Structure 1
Amino acid sequence: MEIEVKHNEKEHRFECVKEGQLAYVEYKKIPDGMDFIATFVPEELRGKGVGSALAKAALRYAEGKRMKVVASCPFIRSYIEKHMKWSKV
């Protein structure tokens, strides 16, 4: 089952609702890019690919817009390290 992630520009986050619960990656705008500052996945959704789907969507967005990426969030930083494709973003 694919996890649908939406970009909520007003709240500065990428988010999804699964099993009635909200999960998100929060960012702040920086010159020429985005600083991913926090990832929140409810306990019940952990281990189901939600965090990875959020990270992938957020990084794809930044890549598509040719934006600089800063990963202040440890989860996003770890995702980038594990998926070397994103290390060039």
Structure 2
Amino acid sequence: MSFDIRHDPAARRFETVVDGQHCELDYRLDDRVMTITHTGVPGAVEGRGIASALTRAAMEAARSAGWTVVPACAYAASWLRRHPEFADLSA
């Protein structure tokens, strides 16, 4: 499933709206290190791969920008373990 994910660098957030529900991934950026602090998907739209798509978008953005990533959020840490193709981004 494909989602319209937007990156708001000023808010340090990746976000999408699915069936009227706002879903987000928040991060901090310090010295080219993206720390993923929160991934949120409302229960009404859980189980559709939204958090995974948000995390992938964040990882791809980090790679494009030359950043490393600290997955401080439990979901992002678990996602990174399941996607070794992004292991090179770990800070």
Q: TM-score, normalization: structure 1?
A: 0.95
Percent of paired sites with the same residue: 29
User: How far does residue 32 in structure 1 lie from its aligned partner after superposition?
Assistant: 1.5
Deviations 1:28-72 (A, max 9, x none): 111122100000000011100100110000000001111011110
Task: Summarize deviations over 1:11-33 as a string: whole Å, max 9, x none.
Answer: 21100001011000000111122
Q: How many residues align structurally?
A: 89
Counterpart residue number, 1:24: 24
Q: Which residue number corresponds to residue 6 of structure 1? A: 6
Task: Flag structure 1 segments of 5+ consecutive residues without an equivalent.
Answer: none
Distance 1:51 1:4 in 2: 13
Deviates more, 1:37-46 or 1:2-11: 2-11
RMSD over equivalenced CA pairs, Å = 0.9
Would you identify which runs of 4 or more consecutive aligned residues in structure 1 move more than 3 Å? none
Distance 1:29 1:5 in 2: 19
Pairwise mapping of residues 8-87 of structure 1 onto structure 2 (< 5 A)?
8-87=8-87
Deviation at 1:4, TM superposition (A): 1.2
- Unmatched 5+ residue regions in structure 2? none
- 2:4 is paired with a residue whose SS is coil
**Please, what TM-score do these two structures have when normalized by structure 2?**
0.93
Distance in structure 1 (CA, Å) of the matches to 2:33 and 2:85: 18
